[in-house]
Structure 1
Amino acid sequence: MGEQAASLSDQLRSYGAVPHEVPTIAVEPPRTPQQMERAVKGLVTGRYEWIAFTSVNAVKAVREKFEEYGLDARAFAGIKVAAVGEQTAKSLIEFGVKPDLVPSGEQSAAGLLEDWPPYDPVFDPIDRVFLPRADIATETLVAGLIELGWEVDDVTAYRTVRASPPPAETREAIKGGGFDAVLFTSSSTVRNLVGIAGKPHNVTVIACIGPATAKTAEEHGLRVDVLSPEPSVHKLAEALAEFGAARRDAAIEAGDPVTRPSERRPGSRRRARS
């Protein structure tokens, strides 16, 4: 998540924004690591035909286990690797592993299933897939793979927990309209930010990465102004920049003063990312 935040912040800076990262999710090891240990050993001994990574944190968890056992990317030899999302694929490449399958369409479990080949007993010597994931359920992916004829080892590789509250100054800026925009990259970032810092002020522009995140934001009483056309942090930043430019142009055309959302309320003039 840190990598995703850094990449998004760099892009926002390129648009002239001043990003302020507020971590809402902390990552912790699974409560019972034995399942993960067995799966990583199985990876080395040829138990799996595929391994599917749905997040950067899943890559990190497997990589840490590899390092614990003195293994490196060579242990992936002969195993097909799937990845959802550009950041996940990038973190695999940095580890020395080139993904065999990245969704050609939507970067999601559904997008991955659309491109995933059915199990073929002639061409696939092994029918098992290793899915290291968060403690948050991935029923869609598991059910879809089973339907395609695969056996799935659905393993909790890490847990996501609510992060500690940000400093009081940041909490006040969020609730008091001190930020121009808040960007949400998942439903859990919405729930956790509201839980640790309170609801963003109604002058603040709310930008969401996808429909599920937007729905959660609305359930928490937030007005969603910007919805990314694709589930990508880069597309989200682009959509926010376009929204800002359109709002500025409309104000100029109407002869109104061009003001930032934060200028309608006393407080800091920064742009936040959760």
Structure 2
Amino acid sequence: MTIEDPRSDAPLAGRRVLLTRSPDRAGAMASALARAGAEPLLLPLIDFERAPEAQPLAEALERLAAGEYSWLVVSSITTVRALKEVAAERGTSLSELVPVGTRVATIGPSSRRVLEAEGLRVDLAPEGRQSAEGLLEMWAYSDDGGAAGSAGASAVRILLPQSDLAAPTLAEGLEERGWAVEPVIAYRTVDYPADPGRRLTAELAVGAEPSSAVVLSPQDANAELAEGRLSAVVAASPSAARRIHETLNPLDATLLVAIGQPTAEELRALGLGVAATAAQPTPEGIVDAVVHALLLTPGISPWKDTP
């Protein structure tokens, strides 16, 4: 099945779903929607650049390679891309930057799959609540995962590379355990498109398949919304939620689907309704959320209307 020839019996047959991602980051999600019968459309709203100050991250990675951290916490797939780019500039790979004795934690199965494809062993990743809160719940207050050794919890030193817009939830939660957390900006989240000279371009082994879906301009997307031609808009992150609020109008005739609770909370804080939240930040989880939103919305069926 292709995007141009969806199955008529699929749950999203005849539905047009707007993904607020750039083509180079939307492939798997767009393909999953197409397999469910939808026509995926793209509206790039946010992009990512290297950190404006490169030295703090470079120095932190020097300490990482020297074995000075008990844990490396990777909070997003974009962080993996940023670290891989810096590693390549150093003439090495991401896996070679992380010593054998340093444990790796991440947010969930998707980022775990990306890290393992890059050659890293992941020691901790929540399966259920895939967020900073979910990761903190897995880290019991009385247990450091053995990383501190005989020196006790105070010896745990954690490197936390992240976005310049990252919420303090994870850093503060780890510090409450008495551990030494070193947050460092790995990349900037910017409005699309990023500066070509600063844009993150490192290719990941998995998880960043490109998409051939139609790309809309903000003007085109708003025209589609005004005509009621979009069944759902998918917000992939809190940053994307803010840009949706700033860019798209009217939103009252379409359904908003959030990827993850932080994104859903941001949409609600902006005064926007959330029709469904993807339980898993995977392509299949997003399809399930879109179908769920259409099923629960009065007067809207997930199956294509027939004469």
Structure 1 and Structure 2 fold alike (TM over 0.5): yes
Partner of residue 149 from structure 1, selected from 158, 178, 185: 178
What's 2:109 paired with? Answer: 86
Partner of residue 76 from structure 2, selected from 39, 50, 55: 55
8 Å contact kept, 1:84–1:103: yes
Percent of matched pairs sharing the same residue = 29
2:134 matches 1:115: no
Unaligned runs of 5+ in 1: 261-274
8 Å contact kept, 2:110–2:281: no
What's 2:46 paired with? Answer: 25
2:140 matches 1:140: no
8 Å contact kept, 2:294–2:301: no
What's 1:263 paired with? Answer: none
- Which letter maps to 1:8? M
Distance, in Å, in 2 between the alignment partners of 1:251 and 1:71 is 52
Distance, in Å, in 2 between the alignment partners of 1:176 and 1:74 is 52
2:151 matches 1:129: no
Distance, in Å, in 2 between the alignment partners of 1:100 and 1:251 is 42
8 Å contact kept, 2:61–2:97: no
8 Å contact kept, 1:104–1:115: no
2:102 matches 1:74: no
8 Å contact kept, 2:131–2:260: no
What's 1:10 paired with? Answer: 31
Inter-CA distance 95–120: structure 2 relative to 1 (3 Å threshold)? closer
Inter-CA distance 247–258: structure 2 relative to 1 (3 Å threshold)? farther
Q: 3-state DSSP class of the match of 1:203?
A: coil
- Which letter maps to 2:124? L
What's 1:213 paired with? Answer: 263
Inter-CA distance 175–156: structure 2 relative to 1 (3 Å threshold)? farther
8 Å contact kept, 2:112–2:125: yes
Distance, in Å, in 2 between the alignment partners of 1:74 and 1:25 is 30
Inter-CA distance 198–175: structure 2 relative to 1 (3 Å threshold)? farther
Unaligned runs of 5+ in 2: 1-20, 194-215
Inter-CA distance 78–216: structure 2 relative to 1 (3 Å threshold)? closer
Q: Using the TM superposition, give the Cα deviation of residue 220 of structure 1 relative to its aligned residue in structure 2, in angstroms.
A: 4.0
- Which letter maps to 1:98? R
Q: Give the paired residue count.
A: 255
Partner of residue 278 from structure 2, selected from 207, 224, 228: 228
- Which letter maps to 1:234? E
- Which letter maps to 1:217? L
Inter-CA distance 250–22: structure 2 relative to 1 (3 Å threshold)? closer
8 Å contact kept, 2:104–2:123: yes
Inter-CA distance 175–233: structure 2 relative to 1 (3 Å threshold)? farther
What's 2:4 paired with? Answer: none
8 Å contact kept, 1:208–1:226: yes
What's 2:238 paired with? Answer: 187
Q: Using the TM superposition, give the Cα deviation of residue 97 of structure 1 relative to its aligned residue in structure 2, in angstroms.
A: 0.9
Moved more, 2-11 or 13-22: 2-11
Distance, in Å, in 1 between the alignment partners of 2:107 and 2:25 is 13
Distance, in Å, in 1 between the alignment partners of 2:226 and 2:179 is 48
Q: Using the TM superposition, give the Cα deviation of residue 123 of structure 1 relative to its aligned residue in structure 2, in angstroms.
A: 6.5
Distance, in Å, in 1 between the alignment partners of 2:126 and 2:132 is 9
Inter-CA distance 258–80: structure 2 relative to 1 (3 Å threshold)? closer
Q: Using the TM superposition, give the Cα deviation of residue 42 of structure 1 relative to its aligned residue in structure 2, in angstroms.
A: 0.7
The two structures have a TM-score, normalised by structure 2, of 0.73
The two structures have a TM-score, normalised by structure 1, of 0.81
8 Å contact kept, 2:163–2:187: yes
What's 1:271 paired with? Answer: none
8 Å contact kept, 1:177–1:201: no
Q: Using the TM superposition, give the Cα deviation of residue 200 of structure 1 relative to its aligned residue in structure 2, in angstroms.
A: 4.1
8 Å contact kept, 2:109–2:126: no
Distance, in Å, in 2 between the alignment partners of 1:219 and 1:39 is 34
Distance, in Å, in 2 between the alignment partners of 1:4 and 1:199 is 24
Deviation string 1:88-138 (CA, Å, 9 cap, x unpaired) is 112211211121111243111111112224364517795211100000133
Inter-CA distance 45–115: structure 2 relative to 1 (3 Å threshold)? same
Distance, in Å, in 2 between the alignment partners of 1:243 and 1:98 is 36
Distance, in Å, in 2 between the alignment partners of 1:124 and 1:6 is 45
What's 2:209 paired with? Answer: none
Inter-CA distance 244–27: structure 2 relative to 1 (3 Å threshold)? same
- Cα RMSD of the aligned pairs, angstroms, is 3.0
